[in-house]
Each structure stands twice: as C-alpha cells, then as structure tokens.
Amino acid sequence: MIRARIIGTGSYVPKKVLTNHDLEKMVDTSDAWIMERTGIKERRIVDKGQCTSDLAFEAGRKALKAAGLGAEDLDLIIVATTTPDMVMPNTGCMLQEKLGAKKAAAFDVYAACSGFIYGLSIANAFIKSETYTNILLVGAEVLSRFTDWEDRATCVIFGDGAGAVVLQRHAGKRGVLSTHLHSDGTLGELLKVPGGGALHPPTHDTVEKRMHYIRMKGNETFKVAVRALEDVVQEALEHNKVKPEEIDWLVPHQANLRIIQAMAQRLKMPMERVVVTIHKYGNTSAATIPMALDEAVRDGRIRENQLLLFEAFGGGLTWASALVRW
C-alpha cells in the first residue's frame, strides 16, 4: 500500500524568551496564576523584522537536511498558518523562494491550531494519489503580532515558532495511517481575530477597537475542546482498530496543559508517553505538533515502527486527529 511517510523533521524558535515573570510587569498576572491555568512557563517572541516565512524557512531547512533531500527535490510546499506574512502572495510561495524550491507548487492551509493535521491530510492525499512524491509541510506562526499585550487572558498563552516535516511516497506499513478532520462554524465566535479581512478591513476605527488581536472565550473553548478531541481521537482509534494501550506516543496540540492531561487520562496513558512542550513555548498554533514531534524525534524518544497519535483543536472551530506509524 502507498503511504505518505515522514522522513525528516525540523523546528525553529526565535531567540527572545518571554517569561511569566516578564509578563507580571506588563499585565495583572503572576507566574503561579499562569502555570495553574495553562502550564506555560515561558514562550518565544520574534525579533523586529522576523516574519512567519523566516521561521518556516529555518524549520523547513532542518527537515530537508534530516530527510537527506534538497529543495530542488520538492514537488509541493504546504504552510499551515494563521499569521501569514501578508495577504498575498501566500506564505508557501514566499518559503518556496527562500528555499529555492523552483519546481515545487506552494500554498497555505488556514485552519488555525488544527492546520498542521489539515495539511498532513492534504499531503497524504496527494501522495496516495501518486500526484507528488516529496512534500514539505510546515506549521509556522508569529502570534505575538496578533496578541493583545493588555489582555491578560490571551497574552499569557501564545508564542512564536515553526515546525516542519518532509513526507515521501512509501510502499509499506509505515506512514500516515489515517487523518480525521472536523469543523463547526457556528462556534467561530469563541476564538477569532475579527479585524484585517474583507469583512473588517484595516481602518483607524478597527485599530482603535483593537480588532486585529486574538479574542478568545476561554472557558467555553476549553469545554468544547475536551469533548471534540475525545471524539476525534476515538474516531482515529476505531477507524484503525487500535486500542489506546497500543499507542506509543501522544503528540498533542500544545494549547493548555489541562487539556493535554485530560486527553491522556481519557486514553489511560501515563504522561510519560505524552510529548509536552507547552511549558517552554506556549501555544504556537499550527506549529505546536511538528515542533513537539521534532523534539521527540531528535532526542530519541520516537523510534522506528512506533505508533503516534496526533490531535488538535483550534479556531473555526476546527479539530482533527491523525494516526502515524513511524
């Protein structure tokens, strides 16, 4: 059977570290309050002049090196992001130019925190249909530029970073076994950036009303996320006739440590089998899963033939899962 197999991973975070103690000087919050509610200790912030395609380039370059491929070998580039460098051209095309991947098609996937798994599903379909052989999939975000640093409910959560994987056509049992995508637009108001699009284009009024920043109804989002993730994880297990105890690693979206712990508990998985990076990087949206994956691959936790479960939930609302045989 033809499968899309991940043959290389890479990640990149900016150098600047913003700690909870730094945030104590900016808004009415505390390290204890943030840790208790999110599990986040610090996050990374881009330097002036750095943008999403820069982060994507660094992560993509590392993934290509790990895969033993050059940019000229790529057939397609997919960038999952909600913080593109600009409206047009897409960030995928900007990454293509920076990498020098002259023969690769390129586009963006816009599914918030679920974007990496949405992109994985698309890449898997292209490879299984034998349309493409080598695909670079990157999750990259510069959320600090869309964060309201006066809103303590959201500014403590988000960070900047990028993670990448190279997928290649593979005949065998290893690779992406299945992906499962869902959305519910009726709940879009729970998590949004209202300004900057065609509905509310940038004006003095939208800027004054702070419409270009992330707005989130945290408690409601948390409740929906736990239920949705439980369902989509169960869907992946049932589809593949796999029991929770057969999963070697849970690689979840790093939104909130309590959500991660809740999912591990429902799967009866010890936290030692869950890849957690939220304490170091916060929520980097579409970048969290590939960043966590790269870390666990490079430190030797993830090994050949192990079974990995990805799950994510984000704005839209969107949620997704994937099962991968490493």
Tokens linked to 273? 């089998």
Cα separation of 99 and 77, whole Å?
Answer: 10
Tell me the C-alpha to C-alpha distance, in Å, between residue 188 and each of 73, 137, 262, 295.
39, 25, 23, 32
* Catalytic-residue membership of 113: yes
Torsion angle of alpha carbons 30, 317, 193, 38, nearest 10°? 10
Residue tagged active-site, from 20, 90, 124, 283: 283
Contact residues for 48 (Cβ-Cβ < 8 A; gap 6+): none
What is residue 47's DSSP assignment?
A: P
Cα separation of 149 and 27, whole Å?
Answer: 8
Residue tagged active-site, from 93, 113, 124, 180: 113
* Catalytic-residue membership of 253: yes
85 class by beta-carbon count within 10 Å (0-12 exposed, 13-18 middle, 19+ buried): buried
Residue tagged active-site, from 51, 90, 124, 253: 253
The residues annotated with a catalytic role in the active site are 113, 253, 283
